Structure 1
Amino acid sequence: MLELIMCIDDDPITLMLFKKVVQKAAFAKEIIYAYNGQEAITFIDNIQTEDTKPQLLFLDLNMPVMGGWEFLDLFNNSNYYHLNNTKVIILTSTIDPEDIKKSKTYPNVIEFLSKPISVEMLGYLKTII
């Protein structure tokens, strides 16, 4: 079980479902939420200790203010070298093959999944993280 994960998504229903599925799968002890990439970056900028650093990020691509691609571009900037070992799962409603291809260009993106999250998906993720 992971200690701390973050879900970055602007849809409250997705976030509610995410929380229920993570709890049911006993995947993480704590979940932090951000409603867009900018909120996530602000949280990350304020990380003080290893204990407050998410071990895994679940990222939607289509969000207001700052979308998933913009977040990834910024997150992979050298300003965030201290988080290089934080892995990212793209969790989105898009199934565009170009998006899947583009996600493979980011070294910290380890998987591209379609919404909604399921207990089975989390079981699979446990085997690769």
Structure 2
Amino acid sequence: MLNKILCVDDDPITLMLYKMVVSKSGFSSHVDTAHNGEEALHYLDKLLEQNEDYPHLIFLDLNMPVMSGWEFLDLFTREKYVHFPECKVIVLSSTIDPADIEKSKSYPMVIGFRSKPISKEMLSELAHLS
């Protein structure tokens, strides 16, 4: 079981589903959410400022307004975020474009690319990766 995860998606129903499935599966004891990449970076910045525990896994959507998942990943690779060395990312997207899957592999913190929606079965698989 992971102590804390972060789910980043612009759809509030999807975020509610993430929280429900994660809670029922016992995958994590705490789930935080963000509605876009910018909000996720503000969340991480706040954790840095307050020296709080960080999420060990981020579920990240790619297509979001304000700041996309790609933009988030570009910024998350900056030196400022080296304080989160064990924070891994699973891209959860409705896209099945092979170019997106390949691009996600270029980010060292991305450990997987899965299609939405999240499920208990998916979390069981991911328990071995994270």
Q: TM-score range by the shorter chain?
A: over 0.9
The aligned counterpart of 1:72 is: 73
- Structure 1 stretches of 4+ with a deviation exceeding 6 A read none
Report the 3-state secondary structure (helix = DSSP H, G, I; strand = E; otherwise coil) of the residue aligned with 1:6: strand
2:102 is aligned with 1:101: yes
Q: Say which is worse superposed, 15-24 or 108-117, in terms of deviation.
A: 15-24
Kindly report which structure 2 residues correspond to 1:6-21, keeping only aligned pairs within 5 A, or say none.
6-21=6-21
| Cα drift, residue 78 of structure 1 | 1.1
Whole-angstrom CA distance in 1 between matches of 2:114 and 2:87:
17
Whole-angstrom CA distance in 2 between matches of 1:110 and 1:99:
14
Alignment-mate amino acid for residue 25 of structure 2: A
The aligned counterpart of 1:3 is: 3
More strand by share: 1
Identity of aligned residues (%): 59
The aligned counterpart of 1:43 is: 43
Whole-angstrom CA distance in 1 between matches of 2:24 and 2:15:
14
Q: Say which is worse superposed, 42-51 or 66-75, in terms of deviation.
A: 42-51
What is the count of residue pairs matched by the alignment?
A: 128
**What's the CA shift string for 1:50-99, capped at 9, x where partnerless?**
52x11110000000000000000000111111113210000111110000
Whole-angstrom CA distance in 1 between matches of 2:37 and 2:104:
16
The aligned counterpart of 1:31 is: 31
Q: What runs of 5+ residues in structure 1 fail to find an aligned partner?
A: none
Q: Say which is worse superposed, 12-21 or 112-121, in terms of deviation.
A: 12-21
